[in-house]
Chains A and B, each alone.
Chain A
Amino acid sequence: MSLRSPLSQALGLGAAHAGPHHWWMQRLTSLALVPLTVWFVASLLALPRLDYGHVRAWMGQSWTTVGLILLVGVATWHSRLGVQVVVEDYVHESGQKTLALVLSSFVHALLALAGVFAILKVSFGVSA
């Protein structure tokens, strides 16, 4: 006795996964990224130079650290959701689609971790 609903068997589409959650997360991350990205771009423009000293001093400020961690985390999340939509739209062969989605998830996770690690490492090295 299959656990699938009769309709899903008739349509043959497979599992429904988490559509509404994806939609909502995309909206939340988009909303958060509006102030975060504007702040980031404005901050970079306001730095007199992008040499090591200036960048490190800027990153070491506590609220900058918090903002950068939020930016990296939310941006990689948003990017992962967006890439997922693109893959689902253009890659139709099941094996290739799965591979692409798994690779995307792994790369985005790596980017998020590396970004947060780098930010924290620099920030903790700057005296308060």
Chain B
Amino acid sequence: MTRYTLLTSILNRGTGLLLSLGLLLLVFWLMAVAQGPASYAQVAAFLAQPAMKLIYLGLIVAFCYHLIAGIRHLIWDTGHGLSRAQSERSAGLVIGASLLLMGLLTWFFLFVRGAP
């Protein structure tokens, strides 16, 4: 559990940047809906490609991590958990919790419903 604070910090920044790129995709998708069914069908075909699914996976992974790490930041902002020992412990918690969340989503996708 030692020395993970640097890793969690840079991962938070990296996943944040990936999610910023994901915003481009979100707006692209929303604009496709706004442009009508014919246009959306073309975009949907593009978005359903296997290569794109890798990108969705990456975005989900990035989201799970950035959400948990972000909550840790918000807890720090209340003044709790700021000591070195606590930060190193919570670094491990962040990695564990985000892996758990990713696992939950993956399980949900694979077994509760088929991917759309």
Contacts and interface: CB of A to CB of B under 8 A. Distances in A.
Interface of A: 27, 30-31, 33-34, 37-38, 41, 45, 47-52, 55-56, 59, 68, 72, 75-76, 79, 82-83, 86, 111, 114-115, 117-119, 121-122
Contact of A115 (B17, B30, B113): B30
B98 to A, nearest CB: 14
Which 4 pairs from chain A and chain B are nearest by CB? Answer: A118-B34, A118-B30, A50-B116, A121-B34
Nearest to A79: B20
A17 to B, nearest CB: 21
Contact of B24 (A59, A68, A111): A111
Given A82-B16, A117-B34, A75 B40 contact: no
Interface in B41-74: 41, 44, 63, 67, 70-71, 73-74
Given A50-B44, A83-B17, A72 B27 contact: yes
B33 interface: yes
A105 B73 CA distance: 24
A114 B44 contact: no
Contacts of A33: 70
Contact of B33 (A30, A37, A56, A76): A56
19 contacts: A34-B74, A37-B63, A38-B67, A45-B113, A48-B116, A49-B116, A50-B44, A52-B33, A52-B37, A52-B41, A55-B40, A72-B27, A75-B23, A79-B19, A79-B20, A114-B31, A118-B27, A118-B30, A122-B33
Nearest to B39: A52
B26 interface: yes
A41 B16 CA distance: 17
Given A27-B77, A50-B116, A114-B31, A34 B20 contact: no
